[in-house]
Structure 1
Amino acid sequence: MSFIDYIATNWNRIAHLFMQHVEVVLIAVSIAAVLSLLLAVGTERFPALRRVVLSITSTLLTIPSFALFGLMIPLFGLGVAPTILALTIYAMYPILRNAVTGLEGVSPGLIDAAQGMGMGSVRRLARVKLPLAWPVILNGIRVATIMVVATAAIGAAVRGPGLGELIFTGLSRIGGANALNEALAGVVGIVLVAGVLDVLFILIGRITTSRGLNV
């Protein structure tokens, strides 16, 4: 059976795993984005603590994928939970790093002007700092998303959802009928997920970024 014939025959299963892959990535990145923004804002007045948090998240990023997923099993078992947690850990550093960079890049003069207009710290954050830092923050979210799209495939090792199931199943049956097609379908699917999400974040950036901030 050719690769095209395999796709046509197994389209429903592949589409289901494709949507699972997108969903688990977006959930993990959303959690990572919220946590990273809270950490970036919460440590703004504590530079030493901010450096520690950045150091910890960057160190966690260096843990090999199989090792991190394996460490999740005794605590969270198999399935969705360990997959999302591991992906969240991997996604945090790029988002946190960009959030810190974006917030630090806001002109102090603009912050002083907002304060002079009577804005409190919360209003300055919501109406000045975050909007100006948003393009940099969004780029961090975009990078983290594309990065964990590939890592999510390793989630199949702990019975997580997504296209990794096709790759692991295909490789385990290599030499058998359609084993290569199955693995290849998973790889191509992951590439398509990365492309779709990348385009999505480009569109989000154009919609949510003020025209004055677009380069």
Structure 2
Amino acid sequence: MGSYWDFLSDNRSTLVFDSYQHMSYVVQSLVVGLIIGLVVAALCYRSVRWTGGANAGSAMAMTLPGFALFGLLSGIIAPGVKAAVIGLVFYGMMPILRNAVVGLRGVDPALVESAKGMGMSRTATLLRLEIPMAWPVIMTGVRVSAQMMMGVAAIAAYVSGPGLGGQIFQGLSQLGGANATERVVVATVLIIVLAIILDLVLGFIARLTTSRGIRV
């Protein structure tokens, strides 16, 4: 156990920087994924056919192995942060899209009709009624997405993505050498810690941004 503490102490500054990069680009990709997921959901949730297509497409996309996606991206885009972010946004938006569609379709149609009767436009009804009503379900998708993205972000080191994944890949490539196991274990534990912290923050944000009348 002492060897792990020694490695952590000797490489503290590097690990802190890698942790910051890991969290930073996961959060940024999550925000982009949330925006894209909401836009796509808003465009298709009123149509049964488009909703089915969105759900089927997201389910199929989730089965695509991370290495395969990042390998494909590295052949199209030069390996680096851009390829890593594109891959991460792709995975991150899927749970958000599915939950957004479920949440929007779950809004009571009577409330929507009442809003229309009061003269609210379709856009105003979506922004002021439907999205706020569906927000708890959407935020559940955001939290699921964030946890998944933390792990996928480590795989993104395959295309020279930033973060703690580089530590894991370096350790795996040096197994049997000095500090190889410590490097993998410490980086993995740090990713788990970051995932827990992000989930707690998102849980607080979800409660803060949910209307009191629909809080559980």
Shorter chain as denominator, the TM-score bin is over 0.9
Equivalents in 2 of 1:98, 1:24: separation in Å? 22
- Which residue is 1:54 aligned to? 55
Secondary structure of 2:54's aligned partner: helix
CA contact (8 A) 1:61 1:89 kept: no
Q: Are 1:142 and 2:115 an aligned pair?
A: no
Equivalents in 2 of 1:178, 1:26: separation in Å? 30
- Which residue is 1:20 aligned to? 21
Deviation at 1:44, TM superposition (A): 3.0
- Which residue is 1:164 aligned to? 165
**CA deviation profile, 1:99-144 (whole Å, cap 9, x unmatched):** 0111011111111111111111111111110110001001101101
Secondary structure of 2:206's aligned partner: helix
- Which residue is 1:201 aligned to? 202
Equivalents in 2 of 1:213, 1:176: separation in Å? 55
**CA deviation profile, 1:11-33 (whole Å, cap 9, x unmatched):** 11001100111112112221111
Aligned length: 215
Deviation at 1:43, TM superposition (A): 1.3
| Percent identity of paired positions between Structure 1 and Structure 2 | 40
For the aligned residues, what is the CA RMSD?
A: 1.2
The answer for unaligned runs of 5 or more in structure 2 is: none
Deviation at 1:160, TM superposition (A): 0.6
- Which residue is 1:44 aligned to? 45
Secondary structure of 1:106's aligned partner: coil
> Deviating runs (4+, > 3 A) in structure 1?
none
Equivalents in 1 of 2:45, 2:168: separation in Å? 43
CA contact (8 A) 1:57 1:89 kept: no
Letter in 1 for 2:43: G
- Which residue is 1:182 aligned to? 183
Secondary structure of 1:2's aligned partner: helix
- Which residue is 2:110 aligned to? 109
CA contact (8 A) 1:24 1:84 kept: yes
- Which residue is 2:156 aligned to? 155
**CA deviation profile, 1:71-126 (whole Å, cap 9, x unmatched):** 00111111111111111111122111100111011111111111111111111111
| TM value normalised by structure 1 | 0.96
